[in-house]
Amino acid sequence: MWGKYYSDVYPKLNQYAPESQKLTEEQLNNTISFMKKNKKKLDKIDEKRKYANDKLDEIGVYDKSKEDKTEHYKDTDLWKKFELSNKYLYNKKGFDDYMDQYYRGYYYDSENDEIKQLDDYLIEDPPELSPIDEEELEDDVYLHPYEQVKLMKDHYSEINSKLLESDKKYQEREKVIDERAKYLEDKTDLDIIKCLEAKEMLRVDPMLYKNKSFIGEFEDCGDSEALTNIYIDTFYSMPWQLIKPASITVREASYRIPNEDAPLFSEVLDEIITDLGIFRGMQQFGYHGTEWNSTNLSLIWLSNFYRWANRGTVKIHHLAYMPRFRGEMSGKIYLYDTFYRLDEQYSYIDKSILEKVKRYFILMLIGVIGNEELFYDNIAHLITRSIVGVVELENKLNEYNIEKEDLLSLLQEQGRPTAHYARSATAPAWSRRWWSNEDILEEIQEIDNNIEKTLKKIELLKEKQKEFERFRLISNIQR
């Protein structure tokens, strides 16, 4: 809960600040409420901040390597967003300076004492943040500790039940909406599946259109450009085992993308990938001297480049022959740059049409389009393998428990000496020797450790199975 977290870190926020700069309780609450209202947009700005730092690192103005070495709370992503929100509310000029740096590529050249602009920088308009008002502050229950939130909700439910007792149909409707709200409580990061789930909920229950909380949570699913970003995020967040693009060349893939409104799309995409240096990053595939291009490079390799590439060389262990990629930035930035250049090339066509082309391309990188049968067979295989894995581990767990019970029975026998020997020739190997009580206790401890590890493996496999099963819904997608 926002209130709980910031109540814990509030002393830190003011610990080193001069007296004149200390936040009041009102400023703190306003900033938290602003962050909550603009969470998705602030996340996008934070991504842009990291992009700007990558570019500054390339020219030696910023040292990105230091980011991983700091543990100070002021260097976390959460603090950066908190600081940005505070500047928006109480230091608009400072906020605008940040926006110029992140979205226009401006930076300070200390050697020449002047402001400069980065070359080859993705310039765009920053998202428009939404201010807060008094009514929202009064309704923002997350500014309170969880216990108080629960108390207020329980109190409201009791009064509401009495007021609506004569209208059972309306009460049932409220119950359904409450269930939807609980279901969405942890769905702060959207992906394709969550958008599909929301669409299905609205189809089954159109009254949800009146639920502002529900519509606000999923508003990006209905915005063409935002939906493309959701597709991109899904490509990077989904289990990598699910990604199964077709075994075709990049040129063949580009021909399959509907592009009636984007003429010469295949040639344009080819030129963009070449200019970004992606083909050069593939030079370690195959034999030395191979010149990769769209006619001989597999879509599988391009998909994995976008997913795994980073600055330097990365070895891809799950592909045949364990190829290596060489990049100058992260694969996600390569993908954003690919789409940015498509925007430049096709600036004259309807934006929503071009966004559909991008989403189609992403679905081909995933394998939902172009490799449908293998994609869904792979999901079924992964689910089956997870189920079998759980059964095998549960059998192993049962063996451990039987083994432990046998050992405990030795300790509980009355009138026995301090050393034990298995009398049965069919007893397990571990028991066919002399055991002291100390030996038995040590063996029990080792078995307990194995039981704990096995339970964790079972839990992890079940979580993977659940995630694999979620992606069955992707078959319902409309590009």
pLDDT number for residue 2: 38
Question: Has residue 145 been placed in a domain?
Answer: no
Measured between its terminal Cα atoms, the distance across the chain in Å is 35
In a shared domain, residues 347 and 398? no
Query: 297 near 279, Cβ under 8 Å?
Result: yes
Q: For residues 178 and 185, give the distance between their C-alpha atoms in angstroms, rounded to a whole number.
A: 10
In a shared domain, residues 246 and 350? yes
Question: Has residue 261 been placed in a domain?
Answer: yes
The structure tokens listed for 392 are 């095998």
Residue 464, C-beta contacts closer than 8 angstroms, at least 6 positions apart = 239, 382, 386
Mean pLDDT by 10 residues, the chain (479 residues): 43 54 75 82 88 85 66 65 84 84 83 82 87 62 51 67 59 53 53 83 80 79 88 90 90 84 82 86 59 82 89 78 78 89 89 90 91 87 90 90 83 51 47 66 88 91 87 68
Query: 435 near 410, Cβ under 8 Å?
Result: yes
pLDDT number for residue 449: 92
In a shared domain, residues 344 and 390? no
Domain count, the chain: 3
- Look at strands 324-327 and 312-315 and give their pairing: antiparallel
Question: Has residue 305 been placed in a domain?
Answer: yes
The structure tokens listed for 39 are 């969470």
In a shared domain, residues 363 and 235? yes
Domain end point (choices 117, 137, 156): 117
The structure tokens listed for 370 are 């172009």
Per-residue CA distances from 83 to 12, 25, 79, 398, 448 (Å): 13, 15, 6, 53, 47
Question: Has residue 201 been placed in a domain?
Answer: no
Question: Has residue 211 been placed in a domain?
Answer: no
Q: Which domain holds residue 7?
A: 2-117
pTM reported for the whole predicted model: 0.54
Question: Has residue 206 been placed in a domain?
Answer: no
DSSP count for the chain of H helices, then E strands: 18, 6
